[in-house]
Amino acid sequence: MDIEEVFSSKTRIKILKLLAQQGNRNPSDIARCVKINFSAADKHLRLLESEGILKLYTYGKRFRLYSFNEASEKAKAVQNLIHVWYKDDS
């Protein structure tokens, strides 16, 4: 997938910003914070995971957490971009 496709969604940008600024989150919390329904959030999260930007951690059968994939250069670049872009926001 091209970078344009990953960043073409305002919702994906909101998800990435949320995770960069607040850390690990479960899909339901992400959906609530970015004000979208669960299935839409799940679709965006799976796309970001398939690109290697996010990593899914599963605990037990039902508890899931998403975070940036610390092993991915793409994830590190996205995190750096968000931190630089919003560094002066309080």
- Provide the 10 A C-beta neighbour count for residue 29: 15
- Provide the 10 A C-beta neighbour count for residue 32: 14
Full-prediction pTM beyond 0.75?
Answer: yes
Q: Is the pLDDT of residue 16 over 70?
A: yes
Largest CA distance in the chain: 40
DSSP 3-state assignment of 53?
coil
Do the Cβ atoms of 29 and 41 come closer than 8 Å?
Answer: no
- Provide the 10 A C-beta neighbour count for residue 47: 17
Band (2; pLDDT cuts 50, 70, 90):
confident
> What Rg, from alpha-carbon coordinates, does the chain have?
12
How confident is the model over 28-67, as pLDDT tens digits? Answer: 999 999 999 999 999 999 999 999 999 999 999 889 999 9
Q: Residue 10: what pLDDT?
A: 96
Q: Residue 62: what pLDDT?
A: 87
Instruction: State both tokens at 86.
Output: 């919003």
How confident is the model over 63-90, as pLDDT tens digits? Answer: 999 999 999 999 999 999 999 998 876 5
